[in-house]
Chain A
Amino acid sequence: MIAYAANLATIVAIFGILAATLNFVVGFAGIFSVAHAVFFGLGAYAGAQVALHIVPDALLACVVAAVVAGGLSLCLALPALRVRGEYFVAASLGLQMMATTLFSEAKAFTGGIGGLVAIPRPTLFGVEVSVLPLALVALALILFATALLQRGAFGRTLQALRDAESAAEALGKNVAAAKTLAMLFACAGAGIAGALFALHLSFVNVESFTMDQSVLVMAMVIIGGTGTLWGPIIGAIILLSLPAGLAFVPFIPATEVGAVQQIIYGLAMTLLMIFRPAGLVGDLSKGRATA
């Protein structure tokens, strides 16, 4: 039971990082990316390769994963960032579809459909460690960095371009540079989450980095509250605890848990949009004003 709870806590912390970093671009900069799982995947594969072929050092795996995911976010996101609003959603959707195929085919890097297996247990400076404390520390650091950036000039720049991009540009703000930096931060964070995920499961394959995963992380952000610090974490806890909780409900057959879960997700999203459009943690008046 303790092992089960520790596993759930680790997954929640990892998805908390994913949701918090996605919220940074969605909530603060207004960039609706449905490709966050791509950068999660890039980090996972990069971290796994470091552990498999160099050394299973968690710190090194996280740094390499952040560099790979952040670096590729620049190559892939720069052209996409030239488009706005729903066009960016479509561009990121295209990126997600392309990446899923590449993850399935690039066997040398990803192991193809079968994925990468037997990833060694993580170590820190030569000592074997559990992923849970690492994930919690990474989550805390990312939340701290998010809070700092959100309160400062960079946060204001992102919120300005979210509210009125042309006015932000007219005040001398290089909108493309600010968006690129926001994407870099968010994707590097997603990469770290990926490396921790690979080290935790000892196995990764493309199934974890599909469109479904991107949508799940987006749901965590929206349900918790976009543009809030704690909302995405609350969203991650709820959406990941739900399947675990449903498994213990005696009158739901084990085979139907998935279907019930989908119905509850859909119902929760619909009710939230009606009664708390800014999310569970979000400012209610802000949500109504936006709506």
Chain B
Amino acid sequence: MTDEVLRTENLARAFGGLQAVAGVSLSLYAGKVTALVGPNGAGKTTTFNLITGNLRADSGAAQIRGKPIMGLKPWQVARLGVARSFQDLRLFTHMTVRENVLAATETASWFWQPGGGAARRAREDRAARALEATGLAALANARAVDLAYAERKFLSMARILAAEADIWLLDEPASGLDLASRLRFGELLRGATARGVAICLIEHNLDVVTELSDRIAFLDQGKVLAEGDPQTILRDPALAAIYFGDRPQEAA
């Protein structure tokens, strides 16, 4: 396959007696969309949290372009080129749309950003391009808290675009979007993959998955049960039964 940019090997994490992730091995490739599909509680978001350092793995490994990332803090993983969205969006609610996106371009934690005026103008240009691409330019001065639902979703995407990361981990980014917004979202993703961005998408809407993904990893009970192209995975009757809650009973 094409360039592997991120790989996890046997990632595992338990919460008390619940084994949320039980040995997930997964690869993401430059320019490809991989969908993580599975019923609620399959361990999809936990896998994201283990990759980004929001949770510590009990065991297993992960690397970005060969560099181990286990034990790194979320901001350190982000600086290696990983951007993520959250199911609950986590916008900077009392900042304007433009400030939300500008904040995504400013990673230095010091009193000022490096590079002086030229770098500042470059960051402002990046933010303006991200707002243009997500259709939010006209709302640049509105506060995030005042946006409509779909606009909030696109603001979350604008932050990721402006961050210029080359690995995107998107947690249900298209949920609740109408058809027109979904099409616009699809264009954003296709634009990103054309630039070589590797995308991992958690999504419950199988139409979106079929439309946008190049590969599917099917998770259940913390394990990757199957991996492959969307047609093969989605037509597998055993996986469909698990996904729709008609799980085969284990032998006594």
Could you tell me which A residues sit within 8 Å of B by CB distance?
Answer: 149, 152-154, 156-157, 159-160, 162-164, 166-175, 177-178, 181, 286, 289-290
Partner of A172, one of B94, B95, B112, B163: B163
21 contacts between A and B (CB under 8 A): A153-B108, A153-B112, A156-B95, A156-B106, A159-B94, A160-B95, A162-B94, A166-B54, A166-B86, A166-B90, A167-B90, A168-B103, A170-B54, A170-B74, A170-B83, A170-B86, A174-B109, A175-B109, A177-B110, A181-B110, A289-B145
- Given the known interface contacts A167-B92, A169-B75, the answer about A153 and B83 at a Cβ–Cβ threshold of 8 Å is no
Partner of B103, one of A157, A177, A289: A157
B residues within 8 A CB of A166?
Answer: 54, 74, 86, 90
CB <8 Å contact, A171 and B99: no
Q: How far is the CA of A163 from the CA of B155 in the complex (A)?
A: 15
In the complex, what residue of chain A is closest to B106 when comparing beta carbons? A153
CB <8 Å contact, A157 and B106: yes
**Further contacts, 11 of them, CB under 8 A, given A154-B112, A163-B94:** A156-B102, A157-B109, A163-B91, A169-B78, A171-B107, A172-B107, A173-B106, A178-B109, A286-B94, A289-B93, A289-B143
Give 7 nearest A-B pairs by CB, closest first.
A167-B90, A172-B107, A172-B78, A164-B90, A177-B109, A174-B109, A163-B92
What's the least CB distance linking A154 to chain B, in Å? 5
In the complex, what residue of chain A is closest to B99 when comparing beta carbons? A156
CB <8 Å contact, A164 and B91: yes
A residues within 8 A CB of B205?
Answer: none
Q: How far is the CA of A169 from the CA of B78 in the complex (A)?
A: 8
B79 within 8 A of A: yes
Interface centre among B91, B93, B106, by most chain A C-beta atoms within 10 angstroms, is: B106
CB <8 Å contact, B145 and A174: no
B residues within 8 A CB of A163?
Answer: 91-95
CB <8 Å contact, B159 and A149: no
Partner of A171, one of B73, B112, B146, B159: B159
B5 within 8 A of A: no
Q: How far is the CA of A168 from the CA of B93 in the complex (A)?
A: 12
B59 within 8 A of A: no
CB <8 Å contact, A170 and B92: no
A residues within 8 A CB of B146?
Answer: 289
B223 within 8 A of A: no
In the complex, what residue of chain A is closest to B80 when comparing beta carbons? A172
CB <8 Å contact, B91 and A174: no
B residues within 8 A CB of A149?
Answer: 111
Q: How far is the CA of A215 from the CA of B103 in the complex (A)?
A: 32
B84 within 8 A of A: yes
- Given the known interface contacts A153-B108, A154-B110, A286-B94, the answer about A170 and B52 at a Cβ–Cβ threshold of 8 Å is yes
B residues within 8 A CB of A175?
Answer: 75, 109
B177 within 8 A of A: no
CB <8 Å contact, B95 and A181: no
Q: How far is the CA of A167 from the CA of B145 in the complex (A)?
A: 15
Q: How far is the CA of A160 from the CA of B109 in the complex (A)?
A: 12
What's the least CB distance linking B80 to chain A, in Å? 9
Q: Which of B167-189 contact A (CB under 8 A)?
A: none
What's the least CB distance linking A151 to chain B, in Å? 10
B19 within 8 A of A: no
In the complex, what residue of chain B is closest to A185 when comparing beta carbons? B111
Q: Which of B50-102 contact A (CB under 8 A)?
A: 52, 54, 73-75, 78-79, 83-84, 86, 90-95, 99-100, 102
- Given the known interface contacts A153-B112, A156-B103, A178-B109, the answer about A171 and B163 at a Cβ–Cβ threshold of 8 Å is yes
CB <8 Å contact, B92 and A159: yes
Partner of B111, one of A154, A162, A164: A154
B231 within 8 A of A: no
CB <8 Å contact, A170 and B91: no
B141 within 8 A of A: no
A residues within 8 A CB of B103?
Answer: 153, 156-157, 159-160, 168, 171, 173
CB <8 Å contact, B75 and A173: yes
B40 within 8 A of A: no
B residues within 8 A CB of A286?
Answer: 94
Q: How far is the CA of A163 from the CA of B74 in the complex (A)?
A: 17
A residues within 8 A CB of B54?
Answer: 166, 170
In the complex, what residue of chain B is closest to A283 when comparing beta carbons? B94
B residues within 8 A CB of A177?
Answer: 109-110
Q: How far is the CA of A290 from the CA of B94 in the complex (A)?
A: 8
- Given the known interface contacts A153-B113, A166-B86, A166-B90, the answer about A173 and B95 at a Cβ–Cβ threshold of 8 Å is no
